[in-house]
């Protein structure tokens, strides 16, 4: 079992910067803006040992609204931690907000190590002098942005904690193909959609706990949050993302970075749950975002949220809108749910597993070729300049998404309608529901192209006789 280290402090003291340094990643958003981090963010620490590090939101006195939810998340992180790193700003010195955080940590009874951040260019003794008053022992002066003092800090933090054997640590770095990696880490499921459609509420409902901050305010989630959990013996990693708005409406720099992180989460995922608000019409931004998911080749499930509050006479209209405005997502199963009350949510994970297995399915070459031959017998490809397009055999060219490579002649002239016919045929034959299917046509090169056929002596004499005969 890996030890857990929580990073706690008031807003804008450098907790997320320290998190990135300890994990060796850029997972946490970093900006000179108080209150940027809201949800708990977990990562595997690599500096000074092996451990789990937890980034938290800043604690403030008399929290209200979303700040109260952030404080509850921080208290949960402290309660689960083996060690707490109290991050302070050495340039600002002790503030009333620091005293409030110190009082909360003192009540928790957890071992606390002081980290005086932003101490670059200053005398270490002077930078840490006034923090002795908190009574948590000798402060460690660090500069997270410049990676100074980090090793000394982690030596203090991990002192007395048992370190697991190197072979027993599984932080996702082990080599292996994608199915083996998914078996160790879990199926990565990214939840995407426009702001305020209920993505965080949906993840909380799937987990059965208030793991993420869900607030009736657009833009509550700013960073991507990976939440591993297990259901019925199967591991999953749910990825909460920031809401993606139309590009013309995005002006805030933080929101731009949040959208970039959301798009990166799509690339990392095995399966994407696209959440739509049943109370709103399907907008161009919905089609654009979900079209990007299909373009990236990710398995997709549509979750139409807030379905319980929609009158029955309007539900058929919404179903028709899905068909009219999202015709390119005919492969994606549709689930009508209420994340707040839980109706229909239980079937989502079943659909996720089905879509994942479809995206990762192995298709033997003989079976693919047999399906291709049966499809050609039912419908032949069209003629091109009087010559029939010939498709000879097929084999698998990739997974997630499934790629089927078909070899033949004049494949550059295969119409889009016939390509769609083949996609639907392979989808039904191999049960590839929930994932896009890509078909690549390849024309084998002519081995005799550019080579001149040398005539034998007998062929030369015959040619001369024919030429003389033609002249007569």
pLDDT for the residue 41: 82
- Whether residue 239 contacts residue 226, with contact meaning beta carbons closer than 8 Å, is answered with yes
- Cβ partners under 8 Å of residue 414, min gap 6: 381, 389, 441
Find, among 437, 187, 435, the residue nearest to 301 by Cα: 435
Write out the chain's pLDDT in tens, 472 residues.
Answer: 788 999 999 888 888 889 989 988 877 766 555 556 767 888 888 888 889 999 888 888 877 777 788 888 888 889 889 999 999 988 888 899 889 999 989 988 889 999 999 888 888 888 888 888 888 889 999 998 898 899 999 999 988 887 766 544 444 444 345 555 555 678 999 999 888 888 888 988 888 888 876 666 665 666 778 888 888 888 899 988 877 766 655 555 566 667 778 888 899 899 999 999 888 888 888 888 899 999 999 999 999 998 888 888 888 888 898 999 999 999 999 999 998 888 888 899 999 999 999 999 999 999 999 999 999 999 988 888 788 888 999 999 999 899 999 999 888 888 999 999 999 999 999 999 999 999 999 987 766 667 777 888 898 899 888 888 887 6
B/e letters for 235-271, b = 16+ CB within 10 Å, e = fewer, are ebbbbbbbbbbeeeeeeeeebebbbebbbebbeebbb
Token look-up 């970075």 returns 257
pLDDT for the residue 384: 81
- Distance set, CA 134 to CA 105, 128, 137 (Å): 10, 11, 8
pLDDT for the residue 169: 46
Helices within 162-223 (DSSP H only): 178-185, 199-207
CA distance from start to end of the chain:
98
- Distance set, CA 244 to CA 275, 336, 372 (Å): 11, 21, 40
- DSSP readout, 442-460? EEPPPTTTT---PPPHHHH
pLDDT for the residue 425: 94
pLDDT for the residue 32: 57
Residues constituting the chain? 472
**CA–CA gap between residue 35 and residue 311 (Å, rounded):** 39
Helices within 269-391 (DSSP H only): 284-295, 312-325, 346-359, 365-378
pLDDT for the residue 182: 55
CA–CA–CA angle 11, 74, 341 (5° rounding): 120
């Amino acid at each position: 079992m890996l030890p857990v280290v929580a990073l706690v402090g008031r807003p804008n003291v450098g907790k997320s910067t320290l998190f990135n340094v300890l994990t060796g990643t850029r997972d946490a958003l970093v900006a000179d803006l108080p209150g940027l981090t809201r949800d708990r963010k977990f990562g595997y620490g690599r500096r000074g040992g092996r451990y789990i590090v937890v980034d938290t939101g800043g604690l403030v006195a008399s929290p209200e609204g979303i700040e109260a939810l952030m404080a509850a998340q921080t208290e949960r992180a402290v309660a689960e931690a083996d060690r707490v790193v109290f991050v302070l700003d050495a340039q600002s010195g002790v503030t009333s907000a620091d005293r409030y955080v110190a009082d909360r940590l003192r009540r928790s009874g957890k071992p606390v190590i002081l980290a005086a951040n932003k101490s670059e260019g200053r005398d270490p003794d002077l930078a840490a002098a006034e923090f002795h008053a908190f009574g948590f022992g000798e402060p460690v002066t660090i500069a997270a942005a410049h990676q100074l003092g980090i090793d000394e800090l982690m030596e203090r933090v991990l002192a007395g904690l048992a370190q697991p054997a190197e072979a027993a640590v599984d932080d996702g770095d082990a080599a292996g193909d994608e199915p083996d990696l998914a078996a160790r880490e879990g199926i990565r499921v990214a939840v995407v959609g426009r702001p305020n459609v209920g993505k965080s509420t949906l993840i909380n409902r799937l987990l059965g706990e208030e793991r993420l901050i869900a607030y009736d305010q657009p833009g509550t989630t700013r960073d991507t949050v990976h939440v591993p959990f297990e259901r019925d013996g199967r591991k999953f990693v749910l990825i909460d993302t920031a809401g993606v708005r139309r590009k013309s409406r995005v002006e805030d720099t933080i929101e731009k970075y949040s959208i970039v992180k959301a798009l990166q989460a799509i690339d990392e995922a095995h399966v994407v749950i696209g959440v739509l608000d049943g109370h709103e019409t399907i907008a161009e931004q919905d089609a654009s975002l979900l079209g990007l998911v299909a373009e990236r080749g990710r398995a997709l499930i549509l979750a139409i949220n807030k379905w319980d509050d929609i009158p029955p006479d309007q539900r058929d209209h919404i179903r028709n809108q899905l068909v009219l405005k999202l015709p390119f997502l005919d492969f994606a199963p549709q689930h009508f749910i209420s994340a707040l009350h839980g109706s229909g949510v239980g079937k989502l994970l079943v659909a996720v597993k089905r879509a994942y297995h479809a995206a990762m399915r192995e298709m033997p070459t003989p079976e693919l070729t047999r399906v291709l031959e049966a499809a050609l017998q039912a419908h032949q490809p069209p003629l091109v300049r009087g010559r029939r397009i010939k498709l000879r055999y097929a084999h698998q060219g990739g997974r997630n998404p499934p790629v089927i490579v078909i070899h033949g002649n004049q494949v550059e002239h295969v119409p889009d309608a016939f390509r769609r016919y083949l996609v639907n045929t392979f989808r039904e034959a191999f049960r590839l529901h929930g994932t896009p299917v890509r078909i690549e046509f390849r024309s084998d090169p002519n081995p005799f192209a550019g080579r001149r056929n040398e005539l034998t002596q007998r062929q030369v004499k015959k040619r001369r006789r024919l030429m003389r005969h033609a002249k007569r």
